[in-house]
Structure 1
Amino acid sequence: MSRPQCSRCLRPTTHCLCALIPSLDSRTRVLLLQHASEVNHALNTARLAALGLTNAQLVVGEVFDDLPILLNPPGYQARLLFPAEDAQPLQAYAPGDQPVLLVVPDGTWRKARKLLHLNPLLMALPRVTLSAGAVSRYRLRKAPGPGALSTVEAIVQALQVLEAPTSFEPLLKPFEALIDGQIAAMGQEVFQRNHGDGQFG
């Protein structure tokens, strides 16, 4: 028998995060393309990001037929937040700059690459990247490499750069509560045994 679930944050109603989710405006529009396998993941950070930003959209799937429309909202320049040798570092908006449509694939690295492969329009987008050396607060997964962040953390860092000095830290409050809740559920001893080696993802 499944537990009652909040229809908004998709968490069990006893662990609903909605009270912690902010409502933040941003000049940047965020388009989250979530691999279908992530939807029911207990740590669905893309959904938290989409709920906390008024100028964000979450689309779930594998092949996105309406991508031409999604990638071309009037007045925005689309950029893909994904590593590549030719990816440009994000920079703060200068006066008169056209706002960015930040396209963020959500899934494991393998699933995210698959999304790009299956949607050639994504492959064709100019890529942007975050500055090196960011440390994730995601203490329940080992990072696949240095600077690997959860989806919500990557979005927060990107917006902090683009829209400095505006702070988007409140987006991380439900994420941190989610992590704390997962650790409490597994027990501190199990957490330390499995994740207490400092290699957090």
Structure 2
Amino acid sequence: MSRPRCERCQRPLAHCLCPLIPQLDSRTRVVVLQHPSETAHALNTARLAALGLVNAELRIGEVFDDLAALLATPGYRPVLLFPGDEAEVLQGYGQDKHLPLMLIVPDGTWRKARKMLYLNPLLEALPRVTLGAVKPSRYRLRKAPEAGAVSTLEAIVQALDVLEAPAAFDALLNPFEALIEGQIRAMGLDVFTRNHGE
């Protein structure tokens, strides 16, 4: 029999993260497109981002039939947060009078994210943006596949911190930190140090 779960954060009730999840407003609209294989991960950072941002949503799938309508949402300029040679480094809005961004964020392994772009030509066609100087990941439970790799939540926080400076979105990382600490406690410090230590 499975343990009862919180309907909102999907964590076991004894480890509910809801009290740590903020409700932050942002000028930027954040839309996370999550590959279905990511939904069952214990560290589902995309869900935390969608819960902690008022102007965000999480969509799960590989093919998104309503993408044209989503990208035509009035009041936003859609861009894809995804690295690549043609990706522009994000800059703050500052005095920018243009429409705020709708930041489309694929969530999945690199291979699965690329497949989502391939299966959704409208995504592939979007202007791409990327982070400039990437802060080191706090994701101590996973070896990064390459330097500068961060979790989906961390990428969103860093993007919003750049776009909407001086506003800061680090409060979104509080439930993430608690989640990681809980996982480390569950595996035991010795096991964590052996498998993930320096």
TM-score (norm 1): 0.96
Secondary structure in structure 2 of the residue aligned to 1:149: coil
* Unmatched runs of 5 consecutive residues or more in structure 1: none
The answer on whether the counterparts of 1:78 and 1:101 sit within 8 Å (CA) in structure 2 is yes
* Unmatched runs of 5 consecutive residues or more in structure 2: none
Give the CA RMSD over aligned residues. 0.8
Which residue number corresponds to residue 31 of structure 2? 31
Alignment of 1:28-177 (within 5 A): 28-95=28-95, 96-177=97-178
Among the aligned pairs, what percent are the same residue?
A: 70
Within the alignment, does 1:7 sit opposite 2:7 as a pair? yes
Amino acid at match of 1:16: C
CA distance in 1, matches of 2:43, 2:72: 30
Structure 1 residue 133 displacement after superposition: 4.1
Structure 1 residue 97 displacement after superposition: 2.3
Structure 1 residue 69 displacement after superposition: 1.2
Superposed CA offset, 1:121-167 (max 9, x none): 11000000001342000000000111100000000000000000001
CA distance in 2, matches of 1:181, 1:94: 38
Larger CA deviation: 186-195 vs 127-136: 127-136
CA distance in 2, matches of 1:98, 1:26: 13
Superposed CA offset, 1:174-196 (max 9, x none): 00000000000000000001000
Amino acid at match of 1:150: S
CA distance in 2, matches of 1:94, 1:72: 24
CA distance in 1, matches of 2:114, 2:91: 24
CA distance in 2, matches of 1:190, 1:131: 34
Matched residues, number: 197
**Moved >6 Å (runs of 4+):** none
CA distance in 2, matches of 1:28, 1:21: 19
Which residue number corresponds to residue 186 of structure 1? 187
CA distance in 1, matches of 2:193, 2:30: 35
The answer on whether the counterparts of 1:134 and 1:148 sit within 8 Å (CA) in structure 2 is no
Structure 1 residue 171 displacement after superposition: 0.2
Larger CA deviation: 137-146 vs 124-133: 124-133
Amino acid at match of 1:145: E
Structure 1 residue 8 displacement after superposition: 0.2
CA distance in 1, matches of 2:134, 2:103: 21
Amino acid at match of 2:176: F
The answer on whether the counterparts of 1:133 and 1:146 sit within 8 Å (CA) in structure 2 is no
Superposed CA offset, 1:12-51 (max 9, x none): 0010000000000000000000000111110000000000
CA distance in 2, matches of 1:117, 1:169: 32
Structure 1 residue 71 displacement after superposition: 1.5
Superposed CA offset, 1:41-92 (max 9, x none): 1000000000000000100001000111112210100010000101000000
CA distance in 2, matches of 1:119, 1:187: 42
